[in-house]
Amino acid sequence: MMTIQQNVNLLPYNTFHVQAMARQFAAVRNPGELDEVLEVCPPQQQPVLVLGGGSNLLFVDDYDGLVIRNELMGITVVQEDDEYAYVQVGAGENWHRFVQYCVQNGLGGVENLSLIPGSTGASPIQNIGAYGVEVKDVFHALEAFHLGDRERTTFNLEDCEFGYRESVFKKKHKGAFIILHVTFRLSKKPRFNTSYGALEQELEKMGIQELSLQAVSEAVIRIRQRKLPDPARIGNAGSFFKNPEVDLSVYQQLKKDFQNMPGYTTGEEKIKLAAGWLIEQCGWKGYRQGDAGCYEKQALVLVNWGGATGRQIYQLSSEIAESVEKKFGVKLEREVNVIGSHLR
């Protein structure tokens, strides 16, 4: 019989390392255990939160409900042809461990996503991305378990409605499913994506003459380790805000007042701004308020220097967003999922 624990401190289960108590907590290792937990604690009777690596959320309150920690493991090649290998990965697997598996086995497509914290099951929810690559580029399908009717459903690429850091699981299906496993389509004949400026420079600095999966992955790891704090040492959830998109006309107007403002074309008459640059221009980089702060090497990352509460970090994020809107007229949207009774 599954053990459902009462009043569990979630500090070890979130990379911000903030204190928050869960009224009920269960770690599930297979679909059978998940079914058992939901039999005893039906979602109709209390809120349910599915927790993976805890690397993209901020608790601002205790959680008055059931927290299910997804620990479904396994990495298996389920199909292959001359071009591709289809690899099925348990949702509880560590994302970087899966990337390393691909690099070591000569499977291309996720090397640019090295060292992103969190679990594999969370990767399609967030459509994680870095250095010119997003999960949707290698996604094939996933199987998910509906918390309400306890039925399994398969989602293909189209079903997931991927967007920039978006998917159907953050919109109409938010909180409705727990992902069991994800299948990725990986290339046996890798085509490298190194057009991102910082990545090109890093590979050059490493003296790489011939590109390989190992070289690209190592370059990404080096960049991330320099720019971003290790969550094991300093509490954080990576990029706290999304890079905002504005109309080309808005960007052109902003450039008149802020000539150095970077911008990246994303589509028809749209420009993506660098949220970190906007925040830095407002003087927040390296700022500290008690134990809540803005990382000194990357303004986009909010940190917990030890004893900050979720509310203190949330309050700091609100002040940062207000200052950016006041200076640039641009609204910042949180990338991190805020878990609380009334704060969003």
Do 29 and 73 contact (CB within 8 A), yes or no? yes
Q: Which run of H or of E encompasses 339?
A: strand 337-339
Do 296 and 285 contact (CB within 8 A), yes or no? yes
Radius of gyration of the chain (CA): 20
317 tagged catalytic: no
Tokens of 242: 């999304």
Query: For the stretch 166-187, what's the b/e string if a residue is b when 16 or more beta carbons lie within 10 angstroms of its beta carbon?
Result: bbbbbeebeebbbbbbbbbbbb
Q: Residue 286: left (phi > 0), alpha (psi -120 to 50), or beta?
A: left
Do 317 and 302 contact (CB within 8 A), yes or no? yes
318 tagged catalytic: no
Between CA 288 and CA 302 the distance in angstroms is 10
Between CA 245 and CA 128 the distance in angstroms is 17
Please identify which of the residues 239, 245, 317, 334 carries the catalytic annotation.
Answer: 239
User: Comparing C-alpha atoms, which of 243, 242, 223, 229 is closest to residue 304?
Assistant: 229
Q: Which long-range contacts (CB under 8 A, 24 or more apart) does 222-226 make?
A: 223/198, 223/199, 224/114, 224/115, 225/115, 226/297
Please identify which of the residues 69, 111, 119, 165 carries the catalytic annotation.
Answer: 165
Please identify which of the residues 93, 202, 245, 335 carries the catalytic annotation.
Answer: 335
Query: For the stretch 109-126, what's the b/e string if a residue is b when 16 or more beta carbons lie within 10 angstroms of its beta carbon?
Result: bbbbbbbbbbbbbbbbbb
114 tagged catalytic: no
Q: Could you list the active site residues?
A: 165, 239, 335
